[in-house]
Amino acid sequence: MNATTVISPAAEAIAAEFPEAKAQLITRTEARQGFVKGIVKTGALIKTYAATLNRDLSTSVTPWYDLKGKLKGDVNTERAAFVTEMTSAGFNKGTIDVYWQRVKEASGRVKVDNKVSGGTVDVDAKTLTELKTMINRIFKAEEEGGEFIASQIKGALMDAFTVMGGNVMELG
């Protein structure tokens, strides 16, 4: 469905309220161009573009954003067209990537958390390390001849460091 479809004012009014309905009335190219031109009102535009991509590029089993290999050819072509239009509209690569990610999420892709988790945090070990860092920072600043409020609490920090299991002889 790449032919241009004429949309009546009544259909436009309905489509404004129901982005998924609008996706059934316009082509992918129109959805992409409308998205790029109307980037300031992205919420509805992203949903419309996403619904159009879902309709045109997804298989009956796999959503378009999860396609692999030969099946991903049309997605790659669409992505290239998206990048071209966004670039010519003056957007940089970072912005383009963020908007493409938002379109994928609006299409149903679950956002992946890229933070690496090392399991549970050992609060005591982390606190001990941070105390050592703070105390060493104060020592270094004092060696350079400065006077700081932190110097007044250095003794209390060292006491806390010892209570937490640290060895004050390892500081500095």
- The answer, yes or no, to whether residue 88 has pLDDT greater than 60, is yes
Task: Write down the pLDDT at residue 52.
Answer: 93
What percent of the chain lies above the pLDDT cut of 90?
A: 25
Distance CA 132, CA 138 (A): 10
Q: Specify the pLDDT at position 113.
A: 65
Assess whether 21 and 76 both reside in one domain: yes
72 and 148 belong to one structural domain: no
Helix segments in 24-69, DSSP class H: 28-37, 42-57
Mean pLDDT of 93-101: 90
At 103, is the pLDDT very low, low, confident or very high (cuts 50, 70, 90)? Answer: very high
Q: Which 3 state secondary structure label does DSSP give 105?
A: helix
Residue 82 has pLDDT above 90, yes or no: yes
Instruction: Flag whether 50 is in a domain.
Output: yes
Question: Comparing C-alpha atoms, which of 84, 92, 161 is closest to residue 127?
Answer: 161
Task: Kindly state whether residue 24 falls inside one of the protein's structural domains.
Answer: yes
Domain carrying residue 30: 9-106
Helix (H, G, I), strand (E, B) or coil at 60: coil
Angle between helices 73-88 and 93-106 (to 10 degrees): 130
Predicted TM-score (pTM) of the model is 0.47
Same domain? For 127 and 98 the reply is no
User: Domain end: 106, 138, 153, which one?
Assistant: 106
Please indicate, yes or no, if residue 111 is contained in any of the structural domains. no
Q: What is the mean pLDDT of the chain?
A: 81
Residue 3 lies in a domain: no
Reported as type and span, the H/E element at residue 121 is none
Interval 137-154: pLDDT, tens: 888 888 888 778 888 888
Q: Which token pair is 26?
A: 């316009």
Residues 6+ away with beta carbon under 8 Å from 103: 35, 46, 49, 50, 53
pLDDT at 64: 94
Question: What count of other Cβ atoms lies within 10 Å of the Cβ of residue 105?
Answer: 14
Residue 1 lies in a domain: no
Contact between 125 and 65 under an 8 Å Cβ cutoff? The reply is no
From CA 59, how far away is CA 16, in angstroms rounded?
26
Q: Give phi and psi for 2, each to the nearest 5.
A: -105, -5
The domain total for the chain is 2
Q: How confident is the model over 53-74, as pLDDT tens digits? A: 999 998 888 999 999 999 999 9
64 and 141 inside one domain = no
CB 5 within 8 A of CB 27: yes
Q: 78 and 129, same structural domain? A: no
Do 97 and 127 have their domain in common? no
Same domain for 39 and 83? yes
Name the band, by pLDDT with cuts 50, 70 and 90, for residue 3: very low
Q: pLDDT (tens digit, 9 = 90+) per residue, 28-39? A: 888 888 777 766
